[in-house]
């Protein structure tokens, strides 16, 4: 029974759409790439560490947290894939963890609990992110940085200000990971449109919290003409409230950790492909942008050897989406300004 189950799991890994994490490159042809996960012992960090260990584009996996990292590193290191795993624990080892990094992923911080908004997380997570980014500027200033720590609408601006102060800021190398919004939009759309989810694509723009999340279902592929306006509104709201749905379902025992780790691994894989010169790698991300009047905005981004190769425009929007865009701008503006203000406090 156990053998049959293991055979089934291995088979599904090979045939799953997410197997792109494993078959992007053979390890023989892929360059050496060091990936660092800051917050690796946490609820997102542990499954993210597992998923990055499965990625053949990673040659060195550096796991850092303030506690618990040796156990996570020992556990993950036994998996028979390409990357070598080293765990680092405590502030005194942060520099060693970061040195030589090509990509730094930051899921560090506290999770959201029932009744908490992403703004409620701000006072705790903002300080954590500021400290970690100060170290990144010192030890691996040229690494790509994938920000998962919430509220992303504020933590990305915090990171940018920290890097500016250190003289290391490169807007092409800083990303807010909004991939979970895309993952949810694809899943919910496929279910409602009754199409195979593996072939679905839905751009999600704006920010990464509540009404700032704007899925562009009018641009979804394959196009489903059978969805009513009411169903599009419901899909939009469910995508915006996806995090709350999970927080409430876990009843105080966590937030969206597993799906976030999956989304984080998908985006990290895209960044690594871009670094390695794979053409036409496009994902949505919260980056420095001229798409709107705001300094940061999530939209489709073409990834390449320098990080952001091109920030793509919004394309054609439905009337409903145009209204959503106008509605989200003030809240997103406020969150961005809050992050900038925090970073510039002494």
Question: Any binding-site annotation on 125?
Answer: yes
The answer to whether 65 is annotated as binding is: yes
Annotation says 208 is catalytic: yes
Q: Which of these is catalytic: 82, 208, 273, 338?
A: 208
- Flag whether 77 is marked binding: no
> Is 306 one of the annotated binding-site residues?
no
39 is in an annotated binding site: yes
Q: Is 260 annotated as a binding residue?
A: yes
Tokens of 14: 């090979």
Q: Is 206 annotated as ligand-binding?
A: no
Length in residues, the chain: 346
Strands 144-147 and 174-176, by their bridges, are: parallel
Question: Within a 13 Å sphere around the CA of 55, how many CA atoms are in the beta-carbon half?
Answer: 31
Angstrom distance (rounded) from CA 153 to CA 230: 28
90 among annotated binding-site residues: no
CA pair distance 159, 164, nearest whole angstrom: 9
Task: Please indicate if the annotation marks 339 as binding a ligand.
Answer: no
3-state SS of 21-68 is HHHCCCCCCCCCCEEEEECCCCCCHHHHHHHHHCCCCCCEEEEEECCC
Residue ranges in the chain assigned as alpha helix (H): 2-15, 20-23, 45-53, 69-77, 94-98, 122-139, 152-166, 179-193, 229-240, 242-249, 258-275, 319-343
- Is 265 labelled as part of a ligand binding site? no
Opening angle at CA 140, ends 136 and 142, nearest 5: 110
106 annotated to bind ligand:
no
Q: Which residues participate in the annotated binding site for substrate?
A: 112, 118, 150, 184
Q: Which residues are catalytic?
A: 208
Q: Which residues participate in the annotated binding site for NAD(+)?
A: 39-45, 65, 125, 148-150, 260
Q: Which residues participate in the annotated binding site?
A: 39-45, 65, 112, 118, 125, 148-150, 184, 260
């Amino acid at each position: 029974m156990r053998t049959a189950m293991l055979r089934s799991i291995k088979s599904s890994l090979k045939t799953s759409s997410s197997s792109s994490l494993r078959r992007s490159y053979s390890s023989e042809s892929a360059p050496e790439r060091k990936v660092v996960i800051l917050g690796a012992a946490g609820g997102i960090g542990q499954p993210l560490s597992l998923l990055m260990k499965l990625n053949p584009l990673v040659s060195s996996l550096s796991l850092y947290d303030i506690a618990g990292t040796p156990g996570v590193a020992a556990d993950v290191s036994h998996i028979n894939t390409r990357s070598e795993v080293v765990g680092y624990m405590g502030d005194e080892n942060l520099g060693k963890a970061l040195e030589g990094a090509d990509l730094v992923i930051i899921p560090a911080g506290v999770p959201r609990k029932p009744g908490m908004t992403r703004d409620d997380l701000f006072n705790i997570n903002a300080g954590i992110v500021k400290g970690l980014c100060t170290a990144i500027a010192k030890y691996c200033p040229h690494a790509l940085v994938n920000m998962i720590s919430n509220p992303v609408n504020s933590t990305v601006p915090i990171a940018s200000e920290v890097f500016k102060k250190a003289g290391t800021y490169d807007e092409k190398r800083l990303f807010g990971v909004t991939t979970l919004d895309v993952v949810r939009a694809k899943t919910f759309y496929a279910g409602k449109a009754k199409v195979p989810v593996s072939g679905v694509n839905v751009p999600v723009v704006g920010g990464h919290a509540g009404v700032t999340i704007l899925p562009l279902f009018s641009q979804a592929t394959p196009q489903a003409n059978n969805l009513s306006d009411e169903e599009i509104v419901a899909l939009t709201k469910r995508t915006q409230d996806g995090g709350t749905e999970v927080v409430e379902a876990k009843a105080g025992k966590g937030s969206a950790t597993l799906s976030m780790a999956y989304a984080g691994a998908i985006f990290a894989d895209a960044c690594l492909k871009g670094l390695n010169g794979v053409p036409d790698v496009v994902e949505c991300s919260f980056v420095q942008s001229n798409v709107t009047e705001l300094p940061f905005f999530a939209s489709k981004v073409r990834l390449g050897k320098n990080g952001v190769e091109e920030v793509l425009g919004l394309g054609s929007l439905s009337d409903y989406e145009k209204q959503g865009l106008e509605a989200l701008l003030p809240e997103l503006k406020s969150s961005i300004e809050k992050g900038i203000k925090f970073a510039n406090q002494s």
